[in-house]
Amino acid sequence: MKLFTLALSSLFVLGTVHAQEDLKNLSAKERFRIAENEKIEAATDAEFQQYMSTGHDLFSKRHYLKAIRSYEKAAEMRPFNVYPKVKISDIELSMKDTLEILRAAEKEEIKKEKPKPKEPEVAKAEEKLPETPKQTMDRLDKWEEKERQKLEARRKNEKTEKEQAQPPTQTKSGDVQTMSIEDYRKELAETFPNGITETVSEEGNKVITKRVVVQDGKGDEYKKVVHNWGGIFFFKNGDAVTERVWDQETVSKK
């Protein structure tokens, strides 16, 4: 699989380099003529247009790695055409963080792949039938879809946790108003004793440790949320904070 991916990348780079070198040796007039001809020819190249259309569709569905692969195929077919390269550059810039996460996970997945022991006859037969490029791409596409779903679920959980950690609201004359942080801290001080009050509860697939710290007539609520998938988040009065804040402002006061 690594050899196949490397081969694809090499073809793409070499084709682009050769095309750019050829253009550099031409006059501005010749480069303009080639660009105009390429625009006309690309418009009637059904296979090229299909790859571009597939790339657009995959990007709209947030299948970013799949979209890049489709644009790369289009670029290999027509190295003088800048459109697929521009689309790849746009994805790389706008989806940098997401692509880094997916590609890092992809590398880890490749490292973990180990072939299962097979009967000698089967193994010998399969040596004559190596994985085809299409099978490789299909397998990577299925893996990417799974990783993308996991990433989206994790981000959704983080957003939900932040929303749930916001301070409560109070009502006046039937209208709901957000309680000011100072009023909220005073209410905590009136409700809880001086010092640290800790409670631990389970909600769905997470464990929430809450510590209310009351001192000098004011209180602060801290939360530590531990998910079963490994994520750990910290909050102070509804705002996300670091583990260091949790340790320094709650543990050190005991």
**Domain match, 128 and 222 both:** no
Indicate if 84 and 135 belong to the same structural domain: yes
Identify whether residues 66 and 19 lie together within a single domain: yes
CA distance 220 to 181: 9
CA terminus-to-terminus distance, the chain: 55
User: Does some domain include residue 174?
Assistant: no
Assess if residue 47 is contained within a domain: yes
In a domain, 238, yes or no: yes
Crossing angle of helices 64-77 and 46-60, rounded to 10°: 160
Q: For residue 38, is it within any domain?
A: yes
Q: Which domain holds residue 90?
A: 2-157
Question: Average pLDDT of each block of 10 consecutive residues along the chain (254 residues)?
Answer: 39 44 68 79 88 88 83 88 85 74 70 59 60 70 77 76 61 50 88 91 88 91 87 86 88 56
User: Does 61 lie in the same domain as 184?
Assistant: no
Same domain, 28 and 140: yes
- Does 194 lie in the same domain as 147? no
Answer yes or no: do 7 and 118 share one domain: yes
Question: Does some domain include residue 162?
Answer: no
CATH number at residue 248: 2.20.130
Residues 201 and 114 grouped into a single domain: no
Are 77 and 47 in contact by the 8 Å Cβ rule? The answer is: yes
Could you tell me how many helices (H) and strands (E) the chain has, helices first? 10, 7
Question: Could you tell me if 85 and 76 are in contact, meaning their C-beta atoms sit under 8 angstroms apart?
Answer: no
> Which strand (E) or helix (H) includes residue 181?
helix 181-191
What is the total count of domains within the chain?
A: 2
Give yes or no for a contact between 95 and 112, defined as CB atoms under 8 angstroms apart: no
Can you give the pLDDT at residue 13? 39
Q: 136 and 187, same structural domain?
A: no
Residue 200: what pLDDT?
92
- Clarify whether residues 75 and 136 are in a common domain: yes
The answer to whether residue 33 sits within a structural domain is: yes
Name residue 234's beta-bridge partners.
224, 241
* DSSP state at residue 129: S
Using alpha carbons only, give the angle 55, 61, 62 rounded to the nearest 5 degrees.
Answer: 85
